[in-house]
A = this chain, B = another copy of it.
Amino acid sequence: MNGSYAPPVQRLVTELSKLPGVGNRTAQRLAFHILRTSAEDAAALAEAIREVKEKIGLCEVCFNLTDEARCRICQDPRRDHGVICVVEEPSDVIPMERTHEYHGVYHVLGGALSPIDGVDPEDLKVAELLARASSGESAVREVVLATNPTTTGEATALHIAEELRVRAPNLSVTRLASGLPVGSDLEYADEVTLGKALAGRRAV
């Protein structure tokens, strides 16, 4: 019965339950935690939320999140600026970086093409990618399409690949491999993934 909460507690529960994966029960648990925690910790959380909305914008080159005009990856001279990895969301940069195998730069589209949801190429940073990859003075050699292996992600990759073929025919355009996850079991693989793994089989 929410009626027994004091209004400030109720407001916090309401705001917390707007977070993804946070239902009413979890919001209550989080609110009671915040009530128990030190004033400093609560203030630090509130301040971090404010600060992130105030200071974080999109990189003018790759549209990743940044607190400067250009993100730290675009600013880094040790990164290979001749290779651009195209991802859907800023959060997709993190798993790519975690591999420690990628040393190029990024381009964050801001979503995936989905005509049903009204997401067209103009709603994404597609034109900016094409300009980046095909401008005469750029030294881009390869574009790695790392959109998600979903219907919309595949459609987005296909659309970009076609556009790049027209505008920059000498550019190498690649796509992340689909297949069985490492450590998984053939027995439990879904048929689509297994089909992709078969189609993408390589000589040993």
> How distant is the Cα of A43 from the Cα of B48 in the complex, in angstroms?
11
> How distant is the Cα of A35 from the Cα of B89 in the complex, in angstroms?
12
Q: Which of A8-30 contact B (CB under 8 A)?
A: 8-9, 11-12, 14-16, 18-21, 26, 28-30
Q: Which of A94-102, A125-133, A138-146, A165-173 contacts B (4 or more CB under 8 A)?
A: A94-102
User: What is the copy number of this chain in the assembly?
Assistant: 2
Taking a contact as CB atoms under 8 Å apart, the answer to whether B49 and A45 are in contact is yes
Q: Which of A121-170 contact B (CB under 8 A)?
A: none
Taking a contact as CB atoms under 8 Å apart, the answer to whether B56 and A49 are in contact is no
CB distance from A59 to the nearest CB of B (A): 9
CB distance from A196 to the nearest CB of B (A): 25
Q: Does A116 contact B (CB under 8 A)?
A: no
Taking a contact as CB atoms under 8 Å apart, the answer to whether B56 and A9 are in contact is yes
Q: Does A193 contact B (CB under 8 A)?
A: no
Q: Does A85 contact B (CB under 8 A)?
A: no
Taking a contact as CB atoms under 8 Å apart, the answer to whether B42 and A1 are in contact is no
Given A35-B90, A98-B1 in contact, is the A8-B51 Cβ separation under 8 Å? yes
Q: Does A73 contact B (CB under 8 A)?
A: yes
Taking a contact as CB atoms under 8 Å apart, the answer to whether B72 and A6 are in contact is yes
Q: Does A66 contact B (CB under 8 A)?
A: yes
CB distance from A21 to the nearest CB of B (A): 7
Report 25 cross-chain contacts, Cβ distance below 8 Å, ordered by A residue.
A1-B100, A3-B97, A4-B73, A4-B94, A4-B97, A5-B65, A6-B55, A6-B56, A6-B67, A6-B71, A8-B55, A11-B48, A16-B45, A16-B48, A19-B30, A19-B34, A20-B33, A32-B89, A32-B91, A34-B49, A34-B52, A42-B49, A43-B50, A46-B46, A49-B49
